[in-house]
Amino acid sequence: MKISYLSAYKSLVLVSVILFSNCKSNSDNKANESKKTENILQAQTGSFGDQGDGTYVNPILNADYPDSDIEQLGDTYYMITSKQHMSPGMPILESKDMVNWTNVGHVFDSLSWAPEYNWDRMNGYSFGTWAGDLAYHEGTWYCYQIDYQHGLMVATAKDIKGPWSKPIMMLPKSEVLDDPGVFWDEETHKAYVIINTAGKQKSPDNKIEGNENRIYEMSWDGTKILDEGKLVYTGMGAEAAKIYKIDGTWYIFLAQWTMGDRSTKPGVKNPKNDRKQIVLRSKESIYGPYEVKTVLEKGTAFNDRSASQGALMQAPDKSWWYMHQLIQNDTIPFQGRPQCLEPVNWEDGWPIIGVDEDNDGIGEPVKQHKKPINGFPITAPSSDDDFSTHKLGFQWEWNHNPRNTHWSLTERPGWLRLKASKVLPNEKGYGPNINEWTNNDGSDSDFWRACNTLSQRIMGITTGTAVAKLDISGMQPHQLAGFVRYGGVFNLLGIEVDDNGKKHLFYMNPMAEKTMGPEITSNDLYVRTSNNIDQATYEYSVDGETYQRFGPVFTIAFGKWTGDRLGFFSWNEKEDAGYMDVDWFTYDYDGPKAVKK
């Protein structure tokens, strides 16, 4: 259950980053080569997250972890976030203190409910898993979500880490749009789900502009809808509802687009797409009538990005807290939609999220604040990997469901093998449509139709450096393989094998235009990519010690709901042939990183 269970610089000079990376290369790569031996690194802090002094800096998860929902069980908080067509789907994270989060699994091992998410179609860009709701009730975990293309579904598990059931479809897409939020009322023994039905069931009698939000009654086991639903609120862009019952009062938290001034009145069009968090309150019934108040808006901490959509939590000392994302509206967030943690104070029965810095009765996000719970170590989602286990780390996700016969962690123990498949046809029904996925018309390029691209999120918005060691000896003619950075656009550095089997370095830009480089005769290829804010570069080495720049300074970018990612690609233009092996991957960034043993 929800609360009732608890009681309720564009550039500082990019060259400096590159020179610093080059100066470190000898020592860094000696360390990289010993990744498969046990080592202990000190936990680090940085420009966001746990500061190691009893405070945190927002965003605490400064990466693409959008649309969070959080459920507490015992002394542990569990979070889910959406990731569209990425597979496995619906990441799960856990925390003991609301600040330090680690990834512990996914709800969906694969996006099994529709063929467009499979490797041989790759036609599900931007869809798949959207904002969900995580709940625990009578010994069972529930994850609800709506695939815009297919409807409301729920998966269940006895253990948060799985195995999770295959999804059960509950409502068709013709009736619902997105963002379910559930609640079990122990007093009445009734279960409910609120859903943004947008205009799909709107009658001519409803003259209010915007999305309709309906509450449906569910079966007590949470798997069936029992009625036709009842409309409780209409508002412009109103979605992402969560239901709470606190001290006998019903609260529905909603994100809503509002006007761009200091008005507390929700529901007015805003050309700048400002988004605020509102709360509905009723002392009578879950169905209302409801009072409405805006409780969170932009402030000075993040004055170029709206703040809304998240989950309410309570600490052991009974203090209240709220986790929410920063929205993509004024500033384009190349790292994606990160998560912020806010203190919550109650005034006259209303939650004020963050700090009311201008005394208008509405909260604004904090930049730095004391932690809710002390005594737990600094940690973070996984990043580095030496591929020494038989299962991929939870940080990795595939672009659509992978072709499982074409990757392996066991064929060469201690290495990730990516076999090349023939790229899918550039025809309707395969890959993204023009402008459906990328920020430009480069969406017809081969990269978006090449299966088994594996990647993880970037962290932060200041600086970062990722390094990987590749073995290219198994590559075959017409194969392209190497390292990718991609979100709304892609930038590749890799090897292309010609008809005669010669291997040449290449850089490819988002329009699939290639810059060819020297022939590479070594079996080993080391790739390093660094970014300073949103400007990034590639470097390569054949000995892991001396690196050379190749390709231009390029811009990493958010697009179609996804921030920049780091990973690996491998495809063949003519046939299923060739493979690339990855020995290890390391990623250093300006943020918290856990002790590694």
Q: What is the pLDDT of residue 7?
A: 34
Phi, psi of 6 (to 5 degrees): -85, -20
Q: What pTM value is reported for the model? A: 0.91
Per the listing, tokens 């807290």 go with: 321
Name the segment(s) of the chain with CATH classification 2.115.10.20: 53-370
Dihedral angle, C-alpha 240, 132, 298, 46, nearest 10 °: 170
Q: Categorize the per-residue pLDDT at 17 as very low, low, confident or very high, splitting at 50, 70 and 90.
A: very low
Provide the greatest CA pair distance for the chain. 77
Cβ-based neighbours of 185, under 8 Å, separated by 6 or more: 4, 191, 192, 245, 286
* pLDDT tens, position by position, 138-163: 999 999 999 999 999 999 999 999 99
Give the separation between CA 122 and CA 430, rounded to whole angstroms: 6
Please, are residues 256 and 306 in contact by the beta-carbon 8 Å criterion?
Answer: no
Q: Is the pLDDT of residue 81 over 80?
A: yes
Cα-based distances in Å from 362 to 264, 295, 539, 578:
8, 5, 48, 59
Q: What is the pLDDT of residue 441?
A: 63
What mean pLDDT is predicted for residues 285-311?
94
Q: What is the pLDDT of residue 596?
A: 60
Q: Categorize the per-residue pLDDT at 9 as very low, low, confident or very high, splitting at 50, 70 and 90.
A: very low
Q: Quick one: tokens of 374?
A: 């002390």
Query: DSSP class of residue 31?
Result: H
Q: Quick one: tokens of 249?
A: 């009062």
530: Cα within 13 Å, side-chain hemisphere: 21
H or E element in which residue 465 lies: strand 463-471
Cα–chain center distance at 57: 19
Cα-based distances in Å from 523 to 305, 480, 577:
46, 15, 17
What mean pLDDT is predicted for residues 169-189?
97
Q: What is the pLDDT of residue 271?
A: 52
Per the listing, tokens 């109650």 go with: 346
N-term to C-term CA, the chain = 36
Q: Is the pLDDT of residue 11 over 60?
A: no
Residues linked to residue 84 through DSSP beta bridges, in sequence order = 129
* pLDDT tens, position by position, 234-259: 999 999 999 999 999 999 999 998 65
What integer best gives the mean pLDDT of the chain? 90
Least Cα distance to 4 among 285, 233, 314, 319 occurs for 314
Phi, psi of 405 (to 5 degrees): -75, -10
Cβ-based neighbours of 261, under 8 Å, separated by 6 or more: none
Per the listing, tokens 């009974």 go with: 318
Q: Categorize the per-residue pLDDT at 437 as very low, low, confident or very high, splitting at 50, 70 and 90.
A: low
Per the listing, tokens 């509802």 go with: 241
Q: Categorize the per-residue pLDDT at 16 as very low, low, confident or very high, splitting at 50, 70 and 90.
A: very low
Name the segment(s) of the chain with CATH classification 2.60.120.200: 397-589
Kindly state the percentage of the chain with pLDDT values over 90: 83
Q: Categorize the per-residue pLDDT at 222 as very low, low, confident or very high, splitting at 50, 70 and 90.
A: very high
Q: Is the pLDDT of residue 595 over 70?
A: no
Q: Is the pLDDT of residue 348 over 60?
A: yes
Q: What is the pLDDT of residue 317?
A: 97
Q: What is the pLDDT of residue 28?
A: 46
Q: What is the pLDDT of residue 13?
A: 32
Cβ-based neighbours of 467, under 8 Å, separated by 6 or more: 28, 29, 32, 526, 527, 528, 585, 586, 587
Instruction: Using the Cα atoms of residue 455, residue 459, residue 462 and residue 466 in order, give the sign of their dihedral.
Output: negative
SS (H, E, C) 252-279: EEEEEEECCCCCCCCCCCCCCCEEEEEE
Q: Quick one: tokens of 167?
A: 């999804």
Least Cα distance to 214 among 206, 89, 112, 222 occurs for 206
* pLDDT tens, position by position, 487-525: 989 999 999 999 999 999 999 999 999 999 999 999 999
Least Cα distance to 554 among 522, 511, 495 occurs for 511
What mean pLDDT is predicted for residues 220-229?
98
Please, are residues 460 and 46 in contact by the beta-carbon 8 Å criterion?
Answer: yes
Per the listing, tokens 């016969």 go with: 405
446: Cα within 13 Å, side-chain hemisphere: 20
CATH code for the domain defined by 53-370: 2.115.10.20
For the domain made up of 397-589, give the CATH fold: Jelly Rolls (2.60.120)
Please, are residues 468 and 533 in contact by the beta-carbon 8 Å criterion?
Answer: no
Strand 421-422 versus strand 565-572 pairing type: parallel
